[in-house]
Structure formats: structure tokens, C-alpha cells
């Protein structure tokens, strides 16, 4: 597999890298194991000092790393800078809160006295080297939301990043080193996906986290299950965006545009299926389509660009196949739907209506700026359509009716329900999904405890 920076705005290969050989991989595994033995004994204050320094460096280098990300995967440079800022914020949040999140927990003495204990407590201890298999779409954020809690918990990290963002991957390793973490605390492995299985089988690797495709998740989960190792998986999403009659329809339509095309539409938590009550369907559709059509598509390095190219030629072809299949099945193309002429892997913001269950785009994730519109007769049908998906990452609902909110929160099959707003990840809130969107949680206290040995400590009388 090629490990290279290929500019998606031009298709030009800018840098290539040789994959690490078995000897170098072994050296890094040995270093991770040896480093963990001492790093696990550092204090929260020491870890927090280094992580805060990493956040400071990231803020200082926001412009530089932002341009690297845009060059490697095509997101508008304004969004790339915002991603770097978000990562720094998450680092500081964990630096400040990790000690409290992992503090010893002591049950009431009356609850454990019949066990014969004079004292009992729960302590969170680190597991060891954790392998992170990460995607290209948020090349900094996906890694930091693993690395910040893992490092604060006392684990060490091994990063297998997507092969089209090698410069970002190497920057992350260098960032943590410059912040004061020793070399073995966080290492980037420049390897192809074929090398992951052997590394995961290595006894020195204690757990794994993966954000990516469903097939990749199955492969990692299968090997980890065979080796009896903990995993956290964040896979695809086809999030519903439900609009009910009581909603502020104009605001919902405006937010819907951003919710669909953030990161050029290449986000697991981007809203993809827009389910609108029939009473407000026409008003929503008119404003939504107009907003999608008005987006500025172009060079992602330009400040005014709102939608850049897709990350790869294969990604664009996959998206085109979904649109063409829907068109052949009778879907209405309300805007977009045609590949533009010229260099780069661009695809226009597209809205499809008249979707049926037989169309691939109803079942599969559209990873790009393509939205599907559904008409719902009532609340029950809206929930039925929203849940008619193999995925269950997040959801968005727009209503001012508190009874409807209660129904959505109770009945939507998703890891998150965002009411009158757009799904977004935040350090203080758990993030993850159900069904084929994966399992486990990132971020918040739930995320930092995923890779801890939850230890019962019992003292006799």
C-alpha cells in the first residue's frame, strides 16, 4: 500500500514514504512496552503539564498544521484550523479533569461490611500500550480524542494512521515528543493496513481503538476477540435529521446545510438523512436546496471556500455510484449530482428526494456532500424512518414540543440525540454509537475509563 501525501485538489503526489519494516516495528513495540513500565508511575500533575504544553504548541502551530491537513485530505483550511483549536481544547480539558475522573471510588462502609472488609475501593489503573487505527477525515481530532485521555490515564499509544495523511501522523508524534513525553509514550507506525493484524496479536499490545469503516472494524474486532483484548470501535453513520412542524424551519434548514457538508460531507456524524414532517416539508426543502446550491465549492486553501474536494478518487467514485443508483431507481435530483470538469476530486453539494428502501443510498453511508430527503406523515413515521438504518451513531431532532422530544430520546436508536442543534463532539460528553456504528465510548469520563483496569481493592478487618 502507498503511504503518500496526494493533494486531492489536484491529484498530485507530493510526498511518499516507505513503510516501516519488521525490525523497526519490533523496535517500537519494545520501546512502548519499556516506556509503559515507568510512564505508568508518573503523577497526574506530570502528565497534565506535558499535555498542556502539547496544547500550547498546537495553538502556536495552528496555521502550519492546518495547511498540512488541507493539503493531505482536502478540508477547507478554515475548518482545519478549527480542528487544531478543538484538539488543543480537548487536551486542556483532560489535563484539568483526568485526576478527578479517575479518582478512587469508595462504596459506603455499610455496603461492604458483610464482605468482611474494613475498607474497599475501586482504582483505575492503565492497561499498557494501546493501538489506535485512525482515519483521514479528521486527521488530528480523531487521534487526539484517543491520545489525550489515554496518556492522562497512564497508557502509551501506538498510532496506525490512514495512509494518505502521513505528514499529519508524523506531526502528532513530534508534537507529543516536543511537549515532553518520552519517545515511547506516543509513536506513529508508518505501516499499511496489512500489518495491523500482527501488531494487534502481539502480547505487548493490550487494547485497540479504531475509527473507520465497517469492514475495518470487523477485522480489528475479530482479531481482538480472538486475542481477548479490549476494543472501542467508532464506525460509520447515516445520521437522521428530523424536522417537525413546531420547529424553527428556516433555522433548521440553514443548520442542515452545515450539518451535511461539514468536512466536505466526509464525517461519520454528519447528518445524512433529512426526515421532514409533511406539513413543513416543502418549506424546508426549498430553503435547504437553495442553501446547498449556494455553497462555494473550490480550492480548500482559499478562505471563502465552504466545500473542497473529496479525499480520494475512489471516494468520489463510490459517492457517484450511490447517486447514480438512486437516480436509476427513480430518485429526484434537486441539485448537484454531476461530476464537474477539471482537476481534483470534487463533487457538488447534492440533494436527492423520492428515496426508497431499495436504493443503496438508503442502506449505505454516503461519505460526501450528498443529502437524502424523506417525507414523514407523523411522529411515528419519522421515528420509523430514522431507525430504518443499520447505523446508530447520532441523531438530530428539531421540535419545540417537549412530548416529542421525550419520544425521540426514548425511541431513536443512536448514541446521541441533539435537539434543535447539530451533532458535534465535545470533550465533556461521551461519543459513540450502537448497531453497526460500533461500541464503546470516546471522550468524557466514559472515554478515559475505556482503557483502564478497573481494579477492586479489598482490605480485611
Catalytic amino acids? 234, 268
312: alpha, beta or left, given left = phi > 0 and alpha = psi -120 to 50?
beta
Query: How many Cβ atoms from other residues are within 10 Å of residue 39's Cβ?
Result: 20
**Residue 318: all three cell numbers together:** 463510490
Q: What is the torsion angle, in degrees rounded to the nearest 10, for the CA atoms of residue 331, residue 334, residue 338 and residue 339?
A: -120
Angle between helices 141-153 and 44-60 in degrees, nearest 10: 160
Query: How many Cβ atoms from other residues are within 10 Å of residue 128's Cβ?
Result: 19
Query: How many Cβ atoms from other residues are within 10 Å of residue 44's Cβ?
Result: 17
Contacts of 298 (CB under 8 A, 6+ apart): 304, 305, 307, 308
User: What values do phi and psi take at 331, rounded to 5?
Assistant: -65, 150
Q: For the chain, how are helix, strand and coil distributed in percent, rounded to 5?
A: 45, 20, 35
Between CA 389 and CA 362 the distance in angstroms is 8
| Secondary structure (3-state) at 141 | helix
Query: How many Cβ atoms from other residues are within 10 Å of residue 1's Cβ?
Result: 10
Quote the Cα angle for 387-388-390, to 5°.
95
| Secondary structure (3-state) at 341 | coil
Angstrom distances, CA of residue 285 to CA of 197, 278, 346: 46, 11, 24
Between CA 4 and CA 167 the distance in angstroms is 9
Q: Are 85 and 59 in contact (CB under 8 A)?
A: yes
Between CA 60 and CA 64 the distance in angstroms is 9
Of residues 63, 76, 70, the one with CA closest to residue 304: 76
Amino acid at each position: 500500500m502507498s503511504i503518500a501525501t496526494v493533494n486531492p485538489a489536484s491529484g498530485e503526489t507530493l510526498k511518499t514514504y516507505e513503510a516501516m519494516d519488521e525490525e523497526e516495528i519490533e523496535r517500537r513495540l519494545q520501546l512502548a512496552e519499556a516506556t509503559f513500565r515507568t510512564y505508568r508511575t508518573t503523577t497526574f500533575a506530570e502528565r497534565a503539564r506535558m499535555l498542556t504544553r502539547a496544547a500550547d504548541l498546537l495553538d502556536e502551530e495552528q496555521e502550519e498544521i492546518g495547511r498540512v491537513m488541507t493539503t493531505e485530505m482536502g478540508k477547507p483550511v478554515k475548518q482545519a484550523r478549527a480542528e487544531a483549536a478543538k484538539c488543543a481544547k480537548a487536551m486542556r480539558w483532560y489535563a484539568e479533569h483526568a485526576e478527578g475522573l479517575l479518582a478512587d471510588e469508595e462504596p459506603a462502609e455499610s455496603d461492604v461490611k458483610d464482605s468482611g472488609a474494613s475498607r474497599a475501593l475501586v482504582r483505575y489503573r492503565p492497561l499498557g500500550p494501546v493501538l489506535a487505527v485512525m482515519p483521514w477525515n479528521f486527521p488530528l481530532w480523531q487521534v487526539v480524542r484517543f491520545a489525550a485521555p489515554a496518556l492522562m490515564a497512564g497508557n502509551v499509544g501506538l498510532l496506525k494512521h490512514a495512509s494518505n495523511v502521513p505528514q499529519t501522523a508524523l506531526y502528532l508524534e513530534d508534537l507529543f515528543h516536543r511537549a515532553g513525553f518520552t519517545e515511547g509514550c506516543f509513536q506513529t507506525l508508518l505501516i499499511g493496513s496489512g500489518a495491523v493484524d500482527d501488531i494487534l496479536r502481539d502480547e505487548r499490545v493490550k487494547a485497540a481503538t479504531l475509527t473507520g469503516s465497517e469492514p475495518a472494524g470487523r477485522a480489528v474486532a475479530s482479531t481482538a476477540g480472538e486475542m481477548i483484548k479490549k476494543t472501542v470501535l467508532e464506525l460509520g453513520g447515516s445520521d437522521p435529521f428530523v424536522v417537525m412542524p413546531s420547529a424553527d424551519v428556516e433555522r433548521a434548514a440553514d443548520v442542515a446545510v452545515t450539518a451535511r457538508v461539514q468536512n466536505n460531507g466526509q464525517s461519520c456524524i454528519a447528518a445524512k438523512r433529512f426526515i421532514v414532517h409533511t406539513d413543513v416539508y416543502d418549506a424546508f426543502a426549498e430553503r435547504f436546496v437553495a442553501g446547498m446550491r449556494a455553497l462555494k465549492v473550490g480550492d480548500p486553501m482559499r478562505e471563502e471556500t465552504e466545500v473542497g474536494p473529496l479525499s480520494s478518487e475512489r471516494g468520489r467514485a463510490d459517492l457517484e455510484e450511490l447517486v447514480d443508483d438512486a437516480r436509476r431507481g427513480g430518485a429526484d435530483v434537486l441539485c448537484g449530482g454531476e461530476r464537474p470538469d477539471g482537476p481534483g476530486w470534487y463533487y457538488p453539494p447534492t440533494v436527492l428526494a423520492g428515496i426508497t428502501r431499495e436504493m443503496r443510498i438508503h442502506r449505505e453511508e454516503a461519505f460526501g456532500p450528498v443529502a437524502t430527503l424523506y417525507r414523514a406523515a407523523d411522529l411515528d413515521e419519522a421515528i420509523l424512518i430514522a431507525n430504518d438504518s443499520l447505523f446508530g451513531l447520532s441523531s438530530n431532532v428539531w421540535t419545540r414540543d417537549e412530548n416529542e422530544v421525550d419520544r425521540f430520546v426514548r425511541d431513536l436508536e443512536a448514541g446521541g440525540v441533539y435537539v434543535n442543534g447539530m451533532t458535534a463532539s465535545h470533550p465533556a460528553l461521551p461519543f459513540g454509537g450502537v448497531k453497526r456504528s460500533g461500541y464503546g465510548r470516546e471522550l468524557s469520563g466514559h472515554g478515559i475509563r475505556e482503557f483502564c483496569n478497573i481494579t477492586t481493592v479489598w482490605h480485611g478487618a
